Amino acid sequence: MAALDAAGEFETIRTLLAPLAHPDYARDLLDDVAVLPSRAGFDLVLTKDAIVEGVHFLPDDPLDQVAQKLLRVNLSDLAAKGAEPFGYLLACHWSPRCGWPEREAFAAGLKADQDAFGVALLGGDTVATPGPASFSVTMLGWVPKGQAVARSGAKAGHAVYVTGTIGDGWLGLQAARGRLSLEPERVAALAEHYRRPVPRVDFGTAIRGLPTAAVDVSDGLVADLAHVAGASGVGIALDLEATPLSAAAHAWLDARTDPQAALETLVTGGDDYEIALSVHPLDEARLKKEADRLHLRLTRIGEVVAGKGVSVRYLGQPVTLGRTGWTHD
């Protein structure tokens, strides 16, 4: 479908994006700025992620799901900080495939997740590009003053946990590309996880004050734990066999001839959007209680140790990984 002209760009804002704007602070998207009041006793947390067609989503992915993934990968960053989502700035780089129906679908996806996660559009920009399509969000959230969880607080002796399951992001990409031989319902579940991951916002806000360090698992479990280890000046020992897997991932793993190599693939694949965190042993019971209250799977996968970087073990034996996760060139 041909790209829309300049008039179409303004119509996109007026018809599709203005209804998503925050009623108090976005100025109906008629201005170049949003104006936010200060919130006494809170810190403003900001994060920004972009997604590009052919890199972070597939060329034939429906744009409503692309919009939802865009919001959710940014919400995942807030969740790891314990921040309450507030609103976002949006940049859309529409390619020729983004005609009016596709833009309507994109706006519908934004609306669905705005309602689900309690955020609103504050402003941004839209432009046309010969392609590929790309989109970015700057997400804003609030956290009580001084309580944003950093990556730098892990200390030797602390336990390391991760929410949910690991590996469904990488498997979901294979499923979306038609490269998995599993039951159709499992393939569908994995593809859904890849296209619309679930950010752990409720858990992040519920456990404020408990994690000593935290990171969202976007580039791969090992790579993201390495960020924590580097910021904290410690080592992290990871038990590969403790990796929490979904039923679909277990089915895939059962068909592998080398389970260790398969697990290595899953912990370095990325796109999981879970929270990996360290916690003092005295706070483990409280952490588990909050996870149980929210019916969220929480798994101890290792511990913080003296040293540097992430060391991986499988059944007690050291493992040397060929890669640690996704990297951006």
Render 45-94 in DSSP notation, one character per residue.
Answer: EEEEEEEEBTTTB-TTS-HHHHHHHHHHHHHHHHHHHTPEEEEEEEEEEE
Within 10 A of 6 (CB to CB), how many other CB atoms are there?
8
Pick the CATH number of 6-144 from 3.30.930.10, 3.40.50.300, 3.30.1330.10, 3.40.30.10: 3.30.1330.10
12-26, 204-218, 284-298: least confident range: 12-26
**Structure confidence by residue, pLDDT tens digits, 214-254:** 999 999 999 999 999 999 999 999 999 999 999 999 999 99
Residues of the chain within CATH 3.90.650.10 domain(s) are 159-319
**% residues pLDDT > 70 (the chain):** 93
Residues of the chain within CATH 3.30.1330.10 domain(s) are 6-144
Residue 278 DSSP code:
E
In this prediction, residue 25 carries a pLDDT of 78
Binned at pLDDT 50, 70 and 90, residue 285 comes out as very high
In this prediction, residue 131 carries a pLDDT of 85
Q: What class does CATH assign to 159-319?
A: alpha beta
In this prediction, residue 13 carries a pLDDT of 80
Strands, E, within 240-329: which ranges?
275-279, 298-305, 309-314, 317-319
**Structure confidence by residue, pLDDT tens digits, 45-83:** 999 999 999 989 999 999 999 999 999 999 999 999 999
pLDDT for residue 7 is more than 60: no
Look up tokens 């399509």; give the residue: 133
Residue with the bigger pLDDT between 314 and 27: it is 314
Write the single-letter amino acid at 62.
Answer: P
Annotated binding site for Mg(2+): 32, 47, 49, 77, 125, 216, 219
In this prediction, residue 3 carries a pLDDT of 45
Look up residue 89 and give its two tokens.
């700035």
In this prediction, residue 21 carries a pLDDT of 84
Largest CA distance in the chain: 63
Residue 21 DSSP code:
B
9, 129 Cβ separation under 8 angstroms: no
pLDDT for residue 6 is more than 50: no
Annotated binding site for ATP: 124-125, 151, 218
297, 203 Cβ separation under 8 angstroms: no
Annotated binding site: 32, 47, 49, 56, 77, 124-125, 151, 216, 218-219, 271, 326
Angle at 141 between CA 189 and CA 202, to 5 degrees: 45
Element housing 103 (H / E): helix 100-117
| Cα dihedral sign, 59-65-71-74 | negative
Annotated binding site for substrate: 56, 271, 326
Render 206-256 in DSSP notation, one character per residue.
Answer: HTTTSEEEEEE-SS-HHHHHHHHHHHHT-EEEEEGGG----HHHHHHHHT-
Mean pLDDT estimate for the chain = 92
Question: What are the CA-CA distances from residue 67 to residues 17, 60, 191 (Å)?
Answer: 12, 13, 16
Look up residue 232 and give its two tokens.
């904290």
